[in-house]
Chains A and B, each alone.
Chain A
């Protein structure tokens, strides 16, 4: 869950690639805003604001993985499952912009790249996987958990694949070693994705048991076999 590794710094990817990606990302974010407003109209600002604050808190939650290594969530799958693709991508975008401008995390010239990978690719692939998986899997706690778990892994790997693609187009020409670098990046992120998946699946099923109406992926229908009433832990 080494999220920092995905915040691309200055000039790892060349100018033209960054510009084109930034343009695509800007159009996609604008589209997300329009789509999210269609669902929420004037409730958009407070609800999206609070949802972003939640993603922010989820990312702040550092937990020790092993000696000296601590990780935190990327949040793409979490946002997709709970908020849906449009609002979810919008919220993660805002988090990434805040991190670039207020925390110097990721270069301002690479903002478009970072938004494309972590907000757009991660959230939309996660939502796609959840929607497909819920067609096959039973609509129970475990079915939902498994769908979200798989979606988290796919979304993290897809986000890193986005970086690999950008690196292939506009990064250092590394020749034959490209395969090795790509393999190392994708392999690491499978592990990252498993960690992200465990936490995300747990969080989403916890919400689904207590307030199924708040889980966007369930589309307003409660789980098939509701577990015995679980109180909100605090």
Chain B
């Protein structure tokens, strides 16, 4: 396992068994439902969070893992914290601070939606292996050329990342002390070397492919498997509930 494999956690839950294309569509639908929920409907965000928590439990993903991975959005939380002080509007007193009411709502909106969005994306990333995501995108008619490039990139990223790590270890073993600006020179030269190696490897890979008769198309006759209607129904239940909640709150707001 390396950092290139994404956040996949192997398992055998109903969520792991769902076809990837179904999960991708469900993720997009769920994220749209989150985005469409009005910010004043606080309870609706609770419902969204409960749905996601239930799915995480179903996929046997521990809560601690989800929280650690959610930190990815932390830079945007600074923006969320700044909103109450920057947005104009009637002021309210919270504790001893004077903040604007629309600003508080804006901050809450960003915080809640960003967190829920990351959780939904984590659910896909955790239950679907890399190859599954690519197969799913292929079923969804994603341009084949982009998918092939992506597949190559992920396959060889293992190598390039290992090379970068190995160079760093080699430098450390030779008493390099990477800190602040002094590491920049060595780092940059390593990157240059990795680029030359990657490009040369790309040419070698192409020559081998050409030797085997490659003419610009991968001879793949076995496409990814289609999903049954049952799978589609099961997977779309969560986004459907979320969308219903979002629509209900929008109408009654």
- Give the interface of A toward B (CB within 8 A): 2, 4-5, 7-12, 15, 29-30, 33, 37, 41-54, 56-58, 60-61, 63-66, 78, 82, 90-91, 94-95, 97-98, 100-105, 107-109, 172-177, 180-181, 198-207, 210-211, 214, 232-234
Contacts and interface: CB of A to CB of B under 8 A. Distances in A.
Contacts of A7: 72
A18 to B, nearest CB: 9
A44 B188 contact: no
Given A9-B114, A52-B153, A203-B189, A64 B206 contact: no
Contacts, number: 271
A51 B202 contact: yes
B149 A90 contact: yes
Given A109-B35, A198-B188, A233-B193, A104 B202 contact: no
Contacts of B31: 10, 107-109
A223 to B, nearest CB: 14
Main secondary structure of the interface of A (DSSP, over half): helix
Contacts of B32: 15, 109
Interface stretch (B52-60, B156-164, B224-232, B233-241): B156-164
Interface of B: 3-8, 24, 27-28, 31-32, 34-36, 69, 72-76, 79, 82-83, 86-88, 106, 109-110, 113-114, 116-118, 121-122, 124-125, 130, 133, 143, 145-146, 148-157, 159-161, 163-164, 167-168, 170, 178-181, 183-185, 187-196, 198-199, 201-203, 205-206, 209-210, 214-216, 218
B72 A4 contact: yes
A46 B184 contact: no
A109 B125 contact: no
B157 A104 contact: no
Given A11-B117, A49-B155, A214-B195, A206 B163 contact: no
A199 B117 contact: no
Given A43-B206, A57-B164, A233-B193, A202 B187 contact: yes
Contacts of A200: 188
B114 A52 contact: no
Contacts of B159: 53
Contact of A203 (B121, B191, B199): B191
Nearest to A52: B153
Listed from nearest, the 8 A-B pairs whose CB atoms lie closest are: A49-B152, A202-B188, A206-B192, A10-B117, A102-B6, A50-B202, A52-B153, A9-B114
Contacts of B24: 101
Contact of B87 (A30, A101, A172, A214): A172
